Structure 1
């Protein structure tokens, strides 16, 4: 159940469900020249983890550090805070006139989270304008009762061996809300109306050489690395899930699943520390690697602008784009969007988060 400390850390939109009224300019460029490889849409975000692109005009961003759900105008970069005071908000999705958000879980090895009227590791629901926020589901409660990955949870003194539940992303699908719970090593399904929680998918533990080495696993009796699901994408009747693989080389993977049953249809393996996944209608896969290139040692000694990348998997061809510390990623309307600077705060750099559009020329 391990989850890395590095990750703990005026335009009407579409159908008129959301309105963005702030005035932060986008860096769009002009004229008839070719688009920039990476276009910055908006800046000064704080820990932008989750991303949901609603239409060609707007997206929602979960800002983990500031505890805000922010609406962003994709054309102008204008920002509006819809929900605030959500410590560690990790994922966000809009569906059927509601906004859903998921909060990260407590870190048993770190300081207690800031006070909040919402429990950690919970799914929240709000009206489309961000009002009337309430708890829809308690994922930690579900983990304690059902323990889908079967790992030992507590030592003899009653102390958790590792993070029990630490949700990282949330996606609205035709089958319900799907939550990648990195701490619990599972993907959970939440009924958006009733809040009922069920297990959708439990990725197998990676068993690479590094994952089978002594000390690789904190939970007694567990063989191999924790899978640590981090990202979810939907294309047609399929669900794609990315995993972190406990940050071990080659232990991360992308799973293609049957969206109704959660059955594994295909596995793309051999990656390292994936933190998000997206897929185009033509089957091209995209993944974010928030820690790629991070040197050993404390994060404060590194330059976050040189850490992280996006990976594109197009058949057998794999290419990369230099996007600093990305997490949330989505392909929508023929365009690829990504958060950037998602964990820059861990490196001591404040307000460095961005939302960017990544064009095909960025991948090399």
Structure 2
């Protein structure tokens, strides 16, 4: 039995995917220390590499229509092994959500409100996410286009306002990075913004019609990717190689906006906009976490788990790392390694097994 009774359309799925990828806009600052002025190339390559895997997510969800990730694992791997695989996914959702929540706290402590207690930001942000998740996926889907439009407006408007400060020679020379650093950057970009879309294996089971789900979900992925490309191009054109010395290249470039000494110091407004984008991404991760855990334990509703998991997330986000430097270092190395099998091995393997065994058979009706 699927515990989520809400339904979404394939058009809403487009905006959900686009908004989710846009929520990784801070990742550009996170990656630039490795990829420097080649970040935009890494975004392109990351998309190209991840596309077949993303399509495997969508095809798997379409094959098991009306079923979420936990149900699919039970059918494909059996109840025992399926629960082991599902527990692995749930751990990934739990930790990744805490990392993103911590990103918001570090954003405000570092740039916007340094005198405010760190735990305050974590608590308020997580409580807001919990409230949104408790309202259900239908509510998030209905407002998803607002998040996407807001993100595009902020990203495009800041690009236009900074055109007079751009030097496009900053993109040169191409492909000068050592192979190891380029490979690491591609791995990070493939895993974090694009590979994380596996979260939609929990959400796509709520689709009321799967007819256009492949096309719409990929269009959403492209919209999110374009947003990341614009941000990376803007930062490189404005800051050049100096972007590697700043904690946040995006904030530093936006601080340079000065239109007649009237329109200036927009970093606070941009900080709020980035918070909105990360909020949407965290809501989808939180939703996937509570639904997956509820499905694993056979609960009839995920609502009883929302507040307890919110408290756990705040504790993990506050204690898992000693500093922002520690956060970046561990995520760049260990984080993308333990999550790789979930993104690049299990979904294609599940799809292959399902095709070989002719699944789902009677399980399709049972899963609903």
- Normalised TM-score (structure 1): 0.24
Larger helix percent: 2
Structure with bigger RCO (C-alpha 8 Å, 6+ apart): 2
The structure number with the bigger radius of gyration is 2
Larger strand percent: 1
